Amino acid sequence: MPAIVKFENVTKKFGKITALNDVSFEIDEGEFVFLTGQSGAGKTTLLKILIADLKPTIGNVFFAGENIAKISKNKIPKHRQQIGYVFQDYKILTERTVRENIEVALAVVGISRKDWKKRVDAVLELVGLGDRSELFPQQLSGGEIQRVSIARALVVNPKILLADEPTGNLDWETAQNIVDLLSKINKEGKTVLLATHHEGIVERLKKRTIRLRRGMIEK
């Protein structure tokens, strides 16, 4: 499988603080990779570089063959549309229903409206929220909201799914369910990069792990 993500000697500094230090790794298409490390280890910085929200101070970052470190501003939206991002704090639009939240992603990518229902229904079924489509986020539990976030990320059929501490705000049982869901999505062929500090989850799935410590790859 060709590498979909490639970090080449990436360093990211915020003033005198070094968030990432000479980080290099590759992720192949269809792989499930954990990105672990304590808070402040550089996990979120790495993910933000991958979605071009931050630029590396030194080094190159390739996504599907394109160097994100040198991406022009006007190409960033198109780049992000190829990535499904699941946030720790969900980042769900609270004044829109579950269905509308997912439709937003389809509108952003420019998918024809006539295809929306079919795609939204399919992805809701996949995350187990088929009967919750017309509810508002306030009417859902934390685990269900995170599933909406996953559904929104998946509905555009991204090349990779990035999940930044998706279980950070959830209880253990719900967290396991979310990780199982991500594992199921990976088994269907989707590349998944899951950032977490939750060792229990990492141990449970036994997948390749990139461990960060003070901005450097430990293992």
Partner 1 sequence: MLNHIETGLRNIRRSPFQAMAAISVLALTFFVTTLIAILVYSSHQIISYFETRPQIIAFLKDEAPAEDVADLIKNLSSNEKVKNVKFVTKEEALEIYKNATSDNPLLSELLSPDIFPASVEFSVNDLSYAKQVVGEVKGKEIVESVGITASLGGESTLGDVVDQLKSITANVRVGGALIVFVLLTTSFMVLFVVIGLRISIRREEVEILRLIGATPGFIRMPVLFEAIFYGILGVFIGWLSASVVLMYLSPHIVSYFQEIPVLPKDPRYFFSLLGLLLLLEMIFGVVIAFVGSFLALARVSKKK
Should residue 108 be labelled a site residue for partner 1 when binding is judged by CB under 8 A? yes
Binding span for partner 1 by CB under 8 A among 3-11, 21-29, 107-115, 182-190: 107-115
CA–CA dist 6, 153 (Å, integer):
21
CA–CA dist 169, 89 (Å, integer):
8
Binding span for partner 1 by CB under 8 A among 7-15, 29-37, 104-112, 132-140: 104-112
Q: Please, what is the minimum distance in Å from the beta carbon of residue 9 to partner 1?
A: 26
Put the strands of the sheet holding 191-196 in their side by side order: 83-86, 160-164, 191-196, 32-36, 208-213, 216-217
Q: Please, what is the minimum distance in Å from the beta carbon of residue 112 to partner 1?
A: 11
Q: Which of 14, 67, 70, 91 binds partner 1 (CB under 8 A)?
A: 91
CB nearer to partner 1: give 79 or 204.
79
Q: Within positions 55 to 84, which residues make up the interface with partner 1, using CB under 8 A?
A: 77-83
Neighbours of 24 (CB within 10 A): 12
H or E stretch at 46: helix 43-50
DSSP 39: T
Should residue 93 be labelled a site residue for partner 1 when binding is judged by CB under 8 A? yes
